[in-house]
Structure 1
């Protein structure tokens, strides 16, 4: 499979199965588009009014060489890999600890229903969290590096337990060949100097939730009584990001139908001094007034193009920044298993409620059909785990023909289920945006290589 596109002045050709990327001239671009279905003579006849015949012949020879070298029109060699992948023993590598099913904000788009997750407000006890870490260690096999994300609701509403669990994890490290990578996601309302100091010592990454411009953020991320959160959190986030040397954090926002000009929110955050930025499309049912609609897609595509061009312009200057969805490793990248199956939800990655129940990920919490077990008894409904183990790009019909499948790994299982009632489908609007992001990310790499 070959994917061709033009972006910000570049003619780009992606050989999907090999991962090879070619930035070519116009004649080579057009030759590639005809190469598989037409003879050399037919290609020359079709293009001779646009290009000199010698250039067309040279392009044909070049494309043939790329094909012979395995850099273009390559066959898919990965599908047979999934047969063995399904049989792999299950190793749990990461937990999302719902340390607090409660929140001090009332974000309109929150899938957690202001932290309650379709249930009751609750804070995780130290005993439950301790058992969760024990469960992780017991089910991690020979894997040494383990990840634990303190999540909510708002995890800082239960910060004492966060500190206790980190301390317990560090004790485990002394007696077993394990290392915990702790992360924290916060809205910043309760953030203070003591928490920043602790996080800088213990947290490998911190996600700071903010949507961008003041009017955008305050519309969607207000306090329960309606006041906006922007003025309170921005100075804290700026101080926190600087205290981490502008590394190992993200300011993470959500754009909606209300701000389809979201590139301005990304650039606003960059101009505030943040170097690590992620602003992502809301996932909402079409009946929600803030949901991304199909009619929004053309403008959103333009916004991604605009953002990518601005990032190229800023590259190497003091205004440079990273945008999470444009960060692609074209040389190494994820292993084959990750490219095929994604985040590992339901198998390698599980969510833990405040009372210790296990779910495939945080977005399934509260849906009893996906209750897998608990941290004391382990995974009891192994059929749920087995279903997720079979979730990969070859099990999804929409992914088989998609050029971006090895970059998005099939997308989010929760989004697929919420829109189609099946984890083996795909959220269509999300797919459209993902494909655009991949194109922009590759264009940025091409521009950097040209420099």
Structure 2
């Protein structure tokens, strides 16, 4: 049983949340709550370098869509379009498993551009990794992020055979999607995306999950409406990511729009709570992720695994901190022939740790936020801090309410969160 408390704020006044009983405890104004909070989080081993257990392969640095805000600059990352060669893909698998130990879990992701432009290499690398994982007696999960337009029936069989998590990039329904994610020619892509999504979710007895990832830009800020529309399409999970930094500055949210985004997220949270009361689950991953962090009560010092447990491989075989840093010297981590550059990784992990982020050191939410996306901070700064704090604050209060309504259901839900 957990027997500690979370500090949080109501109308700018500090309180404590008993995470076992779900009760709000008052009259703690005289305590330094930030110190109280930080001292009582479950400790982490900061001195132990994380083991890399996840690679994303940029198997196709090219794309058939012309997304206006694309961090990959229409898939080629500011270079010429390219496909990863099979040898590079197989060497990437070898590098990922180079010091694998029996019983460990690994993840192999396929990204682009649009990874289905290089279907042959994707298929062969998956089969190779699957067989090698069996030999080493380790578990392995496969994921793919796709715009869905190129999906064929054979791909559905393939996803089913290897139990993929299929994440579809989709920014809304109809014109909302089309104005952000048209074909390079300018032609509408939504009808094709919808057709392919329905084929994914309606595959008989499917053995794979179908997630949606929506980027929130200046043109699709009605998040609740988008959530409800994507829910109707049958996605297992729906995740929203605010556009804070794009290569050309297009569609990225202003600070005022970021503040308004918090209002929209709270509407989604209220919708989630109402459905929870009616014994229904809304697959709103943004709220589920934070509720899981609160429930599991574990300190975070990095916002994600980038440069630590996770790295990305470019089409040419170079290693980068994550898929957003492909072809960016600031995130370079080595290559698949020579392995990870230990000194670069160490420098990265030290500099990116939340304890070493000046803006984070006095923030009450730092152990749940852990400093925000490295790429966005590096190239945009921290315009979203108030939004992030506001969202965490909302979720803490929501956790209390849900716990009081049905603690058993909440514990089951968060213990079985689809992306935990």
The answer to whether the 8 Å contact 1:12/1:23 transfers is no
> Out of 309, 312, 321, which is 1:360 matched to?
321
Q: What's 2:8 paired with?
A: 3
Q: CA deviation at 1:283?
A: 2.2
What is the 5 A alignment of 1:340-419? Answer: 340-380=301-341, 382-390=342-350, 391-419=352-380
User: CA 1:156/1:286 → structure 2, altered by over 3 Å: closer, same or farther?
Assistant: closer
Structure with larger Rg: 1
The answer to whether the 8 Å contact 2:319/2:340 transfers is yes
Distance in 1 separating the partners of 2:151 and 2:206 = 18
Q: CA deviation at 1:323?
A: 1.0
User: CA 1:275/1:377 → structure 2, altered by over 3 Å: closer, same or farther?
Assistant: closer
Q: What's 1:74 paired with?
A: 36
Q: CA deviation at 1:373?
A: 1.8
What is the 5 A alignment of 1:240-255? Answer: 240-243=200-203, 248-255=209-216
What is the 5 A alignment of 1:292-331? Answer: 292-315=253-276, 320-327=281-288, 328-329=291-292
Tell me, yes or no, if structure 1 residue 277 matches structure 2 residue 238: yes
User: CA 1:204/1:346 → structure 2, altered by over 3 Å: closer, same or farther?
Assistant: same
SS at match of 1:266: helix
Tell me, yes or no, if structure 1 residue 123 matches structure 2 residue 86: no
Query: Does 1 or 2 have the higher relative contact order (CA < 8 Å, sep 6+)?
Result: 2
What is the 5 A alignment of 1:40-59? Answer: none
SS at match of 1:372: strand
Distance in 2 separating the partners of 1:275 and 1:92 = 27
Q: What's 2:93 paired with?
A: 133
CA deviation map 1:1-58 (0-9, x unaligned) = 8321269xxx99456xx9779544xxx65x44x4449xxxxxxxxxxxxxxxxxxxxx
Distance in 1 separating the partners of 2:224 and 2:191 = 21
Q: TM-score under structure 2 normalisation?
A: 0.84
> Out of 34, 55, 59, which is 1:99 matched to?
59
Moved more, 363-372 or 103-112: 363-372
Q: What's 1:185 paired with?
A: 145
Where in structure 1 are there 5+ consecutive unaligned residues? Answer: 38-66, 420-426
The answer to whether the 8 Å contact 1:247/1:276 transfers is no
Distance in 2 separating the partners of 1:278 and 1:79 = 27
The answer to whether the 8 Å contact 1:93/1:143 transfers is no
Where in structure 2 are there 5+ consecutive unaligned residues? Answer: 1-5, 406-420
Tell me, yes or no, if structure 1 residue 205 matches structure 2 residue 156: no
Q: CA deviation at 1:436?
A: 2.8
Distance in 2 separating the partners of 1:361 and 1:21 = 39
SS at match of 2:120: helix
The answer to whether the 8 Å contact 1:326/1:440 transfers is no
> Out of 364, 368, 390, which is 1:436 matched to?
390
User: CA 1:13/1:245 → structure 2, altered by over 3 Å: closer, same or farther?
Assistant: farther
Distance in 1 separating the partners of 2:158 and 2:55 = 20
User: CA 1:201/1:293 → structure 2, altered by over 3 Å: closer, same or farther?
Assistant: same
User: CA 1:5/1:75 → structure 2, altered by over 3 Å: closer, same or farther?
Assistant: closer
Distance in 1 separating the partners of 2:97 and 2:207 = 31
The answer to whether the 8 Å contact 2:320/2:332 transfers is yes
Q: What's 2:403 paired with?
A: 449
Distance in 2 separating the partners of 1:204 and 1:181 = 7
Q: CA deviation at 1:355?
A: 1.4
Q: What's 1:268 paired with?
A: 229
SS at match of 2:354: coil
CA deviation map 1:53-78 (0-9, x unaligned) = xxxxxxxxxxxxxx9xxxx9726337
RMSD: 3.1
Distance in 2 separating the partners of 1:276 and 1:173 = 27
The answer to whether the 8 Å contact 1:275/1:321 transfers is no
The answer to whether the 8 Å contact 1:103/1:152 transfers is yes
Q: CA deviation at 1:145?
A: 1.0
CA deviation map 1:358-386 (0-9, x unaligned) = 11111111113433221011124x33211
Q: CA deviation at 1:318?
A: 8.3
SS at match of 1:95: strand
User: CA 1:81/1:182 → structure 2, altered by over 3 Å: closer, same or farther?
Assistant: same
